């Protein structure tokens, strides 16, 4: 049986921040999710015994790089300003519809406005969203 290639496709990616579908991604690695802690920590004893402890803290940082002209920047700015006024977090949901990767967190917030550059060329806007407890399944596609 021949191997079947299933490739990633941007038009099959769903990233919903609050209730807003995000679009207008820049080039390259434009979405990254980095956990703040390791899932387990372990220690070897001098006699070869090994113990480990699980960490239930699933906080993560979601980084998104967008083109400066996309209306998704307006949406993320609005979420940040609304959160400043109300102190109400929002959910984030990610699904690769061309594969089996999925992730979500019910309580997130935008860490800060992105650094902003203006110039002759189209600039990127890099957003960081803090997820209180990101749960994911990293599947193939």
pLDDT digits (tens, 9 = 90+) for 74-88: 999 999 999 999 999
pLDDT digits (tens, 9 = 90+) for 12-60: 889 999 999 999 999 887 899 999 998 899 999 999 899 988 888 999 9
* Count of C-beta atoms within a 10 Å radius of residue 78: 13
Residue 90 main-chain phi, psi, to 5 deg: -135, 160
How wide is the angle at C-alpha 91 spanned by C-alphas 85 and 97, nearest 5°?
145
Measured between alpha carbons, how far is 74 from 78 in angstroms, rounded to an integer?
Answer: 6
- The pTM of the full predicted model, rounded to 2 decimals, is 0.85
In this structure, are residues 72 and 24 in contact, taking their beta carbons and an 8 Å threshold?
Answer: yes
Three-state DSSP at 43 gives strand
């Amino acid at each position: 049986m021949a191997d079947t290639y299933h490739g990633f496709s941007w038009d099959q990616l769903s990233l919903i921040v609050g209730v807003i579908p995000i679009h207008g991604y820049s080039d390259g690695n434009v979405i990254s999710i980095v956990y703040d802690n390791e899932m387990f920590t372990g220690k070897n004893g001098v006699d070869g015994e090994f113990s480990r402890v699980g960490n239930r803290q699933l906080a993560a940082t979601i980084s998104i790089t967008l083109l400066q002209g996309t209306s998704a920047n307006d949406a993320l700015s609005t979420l940040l300003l609304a959160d400043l006024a109300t102190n109400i977090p929002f959910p984030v949901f990610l699904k690769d519809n061309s594969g089996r990767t999925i992730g979500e967190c019910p309580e997130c917030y935008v860490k800060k406005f992105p650094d902003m550059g203006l110039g002759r060329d189209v600039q990127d806007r890099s957003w960081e969203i803090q997820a209180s407890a990101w749960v994911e399944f990293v599947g193939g596609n």
